[in-house]
Copies of this chain bind each other. A is one copy, B any other.
Amino acid sequence: MQEQDVGTDWRNDFKNLTPSEFFRKNKQMLGFTGKIRSLTIVFHELITNSFDAAEEAGILPEIDIELKRVEKEHYILKLKDNGPGIPEDYVMRVYCSMFAGSKFRNIQSRGQQGLGCSGCVLLSQMTTGKPARVISCYKENGDIKGVKMKFQMDVKNNRGILMEREDYPAESTGVCIELQFKEVSYSLAEQGAFEYIRRTMIGNPHAKITFRDPSGHKYIFKRAADIVPILPKEVLPHPKGVSADDLMTMAQNTDSRRYKSMLTSSLSRMSNKRVDEISELTGIDMNKRPKDLTFPEAETIVHCFKKMKFMAPPTDGLIPIGSEQIEKGMKQILKPEFVTTITRKPVTYQGGVSFIIEAGLAYGGDSGRVVKEQRKSEIMRFANRVPLTFDAGSCAITEALKSIDWKRYGLKDLDNTPLTLFVNIISTQVPYLSTGKQSVSPEPEIVHEIRQSTMKLARKLQKHLRAKKAAKEKEKRSKVFEDYMPVIIEEAAKLGETGVPEYQEVLAKVTKRALAELLGEKVEEEEEEEELDAIIMEEVDERGYAVDGNSTLDSFEEDDVDDEFED
């Protein structure tokens, strides 16, 4: 009987946890690890939620954030948005129930888990024991209503406990939330809250954020673009992207009375005609009731989908930032010397989930990040415009960028280049690797698209750098020729009366000095320039007489050198 004594005591040991209880024990799975990171994740979740709410209602997001330090590692965070507000009945459900929310539709949104806001309230409660305070102003039957609430989270039951409630005189819609946190830390570091806001602005140039930091300093991150982003539409799943299990779930939840109507109403690109085709190919009676759908039938239908041709998934569900907007955002924040951006066409992963890759590359100016007073390259990862700050290691974006041979694009030491790489993946279903939503699963199609877009940008940067070098050369050469031109003219004038051989001799002498100066100035420069010098030398020698130095070089630059640079 020894076994029973030491083994599991089922009656006492077996427990069912609510999601809140589970994440209370495993808060690191929500991204809450480390003092700096924890606070950044709070910013991330609350900003994300405000943006989604405003945009879904067609409002240009505008957020005021205030972070007060009460004492070391104890802060009060207040965030006010201009979104549509949350109806009173849903306030505590949004902020106190985990795995609950309005984001479970097939629509592009930043949040998609129903964990973010309630995670923040949980962390606040766990570290301070203080209640959450929320003012919500929302439209109801045409009027604006306002409510002020104070509540706690009932972790054991995954719901809120109301402590105080009063009407609030509302003027415009929006939510204002106040939470307290301990054991967190505000930092200007790369993984800190300030940097998070900076990155957010790059991905959301249509938004405005005002931030008062713990020292009382007020930062205003202005709109770089006044365009309300087009509202993403909820799109029906594409036949190539659904599994048999998805069909089974649809069948259990549909209001349709027959397979046929269920398929046409639940999937995109699915007409009655296509359903008839499927019926013919599979022999399945499409007039049966969805509740009777069996798994083998579902499998047969999905198998049939795979063999059929369908139009690509509708892409009006995917709203990229747009390359122009990304450029505006990067220019505003990074003030770079050079910037180039790209928004690719929508494609799909796992057969049917469509996504778009957008990328931007900024060079010089405030690009890159400063480490020990040196500018290093930095990668900014985004998913549905949300900056991903942590767990870079396993992310599709990191994997793709690492696999690129940067030397081919003239970046011999990528690490020490003042470069900011921006990658944003837009999808109705971003395949996050964990509940902390900080890295994207490296699906082969996603990695491929990121590589393609980044290589295109790298090629443009290469051109820019070559042109810059060439321009620098040109300037130097112009200067040398300018300096020597008076001498040449003077000598030429003197020689006007003497014979031709001497004329050439003097000219050669002066040219030689000019070239020596040119070469002397550039001992530390590279091969490419040396080739260039060789070409200049030939040009000058062949022509053998004094012409307008500037114009010669101009035409030379435009033709030969440019070709030389292109290959």
Contacts and interface: CB of A to CB of B under 8 A. Distances in A.
Interface in A4-59: 4, 6-8, 10, 13-19, 21-22, 24-26, 28-29, 33, 53, 56-59
A245 B104 contact: no
A180 to B, nearest CB: 11
Contacts of A33: 431, 433, 441
Contact of A14 (B102, B130, B295): B102
A176 B372 CA distance: 59
A129 interface: yes
Closest 3 CB pairs between A and B? Answer: A393-B393, A129-B295, A434-B434
B394 A245 contact: no
A128 interface: yes
Contact of A99 (B16, B89, B101, B393): B16
A44 to B, nearest CB: 16
A87 interface: yes
29 contacts: A1-B139, A1-B142, A3-B57, A3-B173, A4-B57, A6-B58, A7-B84, A8-B56, A8-B57, A10-B90, A14-B90, A14-B93, A14-B100, A15-B101, A15-B114, A16-B97, A17-B100, A17-B114, A24-B245, A33-B431, A126-B243, A127-B245, A128-B295, A129-B294, A129-B295, A129-B298, A155-B249, A393-B394, A433-B436
Q: For chain A, give the interface size range.
A: 35 or more
A435 interface: yes
A76 interface: no
Interface in A244-267: 244-245, 248-249, 252
Contact of A53 (B8, B97, B296): B8
Interface string A433-463: 1111000010000000000000000000000
B3 A139 contact: yes
Contact of A434 (B6, B29, B139, B296): B29
Given A16-B97, A433-B29, A3 B102 contact: no
Tally of this chain's copies: 2
Contacts of A434: 29, 433-436
Interface in A164-213: 173
Contacts of A17: 99-100, 104, 114
A248 to B, nearest CB: 7
Interface string A96-116: 010111101100000001100
A231 interface: yes
A299 interface: yes
Given A245-B126, A393-B394, A433-B434, A102 B13 contact: yes
Contacts of A86: 10
A84 B16 contact: no
A455 B260 CA distance: 66
A114 B22 CA distance: 9
A125 B245 contact: yes
Contacts of A105: 13
A489 to B, nearest CB: 63
